[in-house]
Amino acid sequence: MTVFGIWTFLSALLSFALTALIGKFLIPFLHKVNFGQTILEDGPSWHKNKQGTPTMGGIMFIIGIVVITCASVILYSIFGNNFVGAFQQETERCVTFVFAGLGLALLHGAIGFIDDYIKVVKKRNLGLTAIQKLVLQFAVTIAYLAVLGFMGYGTKTIIPFVGEVDLGWFYYILAAIVIVGVVNAVNLTDGIDGLDGSLTFFVAMFFMLIANLMGYMGVGFMSAAVAGGCLGFLLWNFHPAKVFMGDTGSLFLGGIVCALAFAVNMPILLLPLGIVYLCEMFSVMLQVVYFKLTHGKRLFKMSPIHHHFEMCGWSEVKIVAVFSGVTVVFGILSFCLVYFGV
């Protein structure tokens, strides 16, 4: 294994260990302060037995991912050139995209924390309004894109088999819509034990491979830390879950997934890699539109679509396995697109 491979492996391993360790102390604390989840009344009836399960558990992987990513990238920036001198010119870009990306994810996580806190204090599954969330999310996203633009990165994006395309000012409009859309799609995916963490683990793994292929080592470290953090969280969140990530965690994960896509300069990869997230989001949108057009009929038994499969008799473990399998298939497709098309 190369020095870089060892470094990447350590990023994943340390993020996993730190996240898992934090969970051992965070979960009892969340129980102690009564930060329990209130289950939606219109959700599957059998989810009622999850009432009171601690939420805001996303804090554990947020700490793990941020601490290990920062440590890895800072050490790489200082000492990395001694091992991989060919990538000296990538250091500035690496630092910009990694830290701007962490800022994007952390601020979205903060929005989720506010939302979770309101839900917990009021003991009901209502937090910020949809408009309040969108305004805050667009504000955070615009700030992230402004930082990239100020640093000289923006308007150009890579499309496999097409090449680098300059979208001009339209890039910022499209990028803002994509980021906010994907962040909310990841948020909607968090509805059953282990689903969001499992999907994001595989998405991060493929972004790690793609970043390494393109020589973006710092982004590779961040991807590895995200994968490790998700795996550490799954120790506590896999069915039956001992803790939920809450909007704190799911909005952070949405932000970090977008940050990884923009860090490799291929946000278009969010289409195949985020296929399950997007299906979850569009299932909600289609359900609402169909319900209104047909005056009360439903396209799915319940949305987001993971609940539809639950209503069809699928277990939570089976849904996680199948949805993860779909993500892996599209992850392989994404890697092939980059390998042969860039």
81 exposure class (CB count in 10 Å sphere: 0-12, 13-18, 19+): middle
**pLDDT confidence band for 120 (50 / 70 / 90):** confident
* Residue 165, SS3 per DSSP: strand
| Nearest alpha carbon to residue 2 among 220, 201, 202, 228 | 220
Q: 262, 148 in Cβ contact below 8 A?
A: yes
Rounded average pLDDT over 110-129:
83
Confidence of residue 338 (pLDDT cuts 50, 70, 90): very high
DSSP output for 230-259: HHHHHHHHSSSPS---HHHHHHHHHHHHHH
Task: Map residue 173 onto helix, strand or coil.
Answer: helix
How many CA atoms within 13 Å lie on the side-chain side of 264? 33
User: Which has the higher per-residue pLDDT, 241 or 88?
Assistant: 241
Q: For residue range 283-333, list pLDDT tens digits in order.
A: 999 999 999 999 889 999 999 999 999 999 999 999 999 999 999 999 999
Beta-ladder partners of 52 = none
Residue 175: pLDDT over 90:
yes
Stretch (H or E) spanning 150: helix 130-150
Radius of gyration of the chain, Cα coordinates, nearest whole angstrom: 20
269 within 8 A of 332, measured Cβ to Cβ:
no
Hey, what are 212's tokens? 């390494």
The mean per-residue pLDDT over the stretch 33-42 comes to 66
- Dist CA 282 CA 278 (whole Å): 6
DSSP letter (8 states) at residue 37: P
Is 274 a residue whose pLDDT tops 60? yes
Q: Say if residue 240 is preceded by a cis peptide, omega within 30 of 0.
A: yes
Exposed / middle / buried, residue 211 (Cβ in 10 Å: 0-12, 13-18, 19+): buried
Tokens of 332: 């392989």
Question: Position 20: which residue type?
Answer: A
Please report the sign of the dihedral spanned by the C-alpha atoms of residue 216, residue 219, residue 225, residue 226. Answer: negative
- The whole-angstrom separation of Cα 265 and Cα 155 is 10
> Is pLDDT of 50 > 80?
no
pLDDT for 86 equals 44
Residue-wise pLDDT for 87-101, tens only, equals: 455 677 888 999 999
The type of residue at 64 is G
Q: Please report the sign of the dihedral spanned by the C-alpha atoms of residue 313, residue 58, residue 212, residue 159.
A: positive
- Tell me what pLDDT residue 11 has: 96
Mean pLDDT value across the chain: 91
User: Among 1-10, 42-51, 141-150, which is the least confidently predicted range?
Assistant: 42-51
pLDDT band at 256 (very low <50, low <70, confident <90, very high): very high
59, burial (CB in 10 Å: exposed 0-12, middle 13-18, buried 19+): buried
Nearest to 100 by CA among 142, 144, 55, 60: 144
Q: What is the mean pLDDT of residues 241-266?
A: 97
The structure tokens 């996580």 sit at: 109
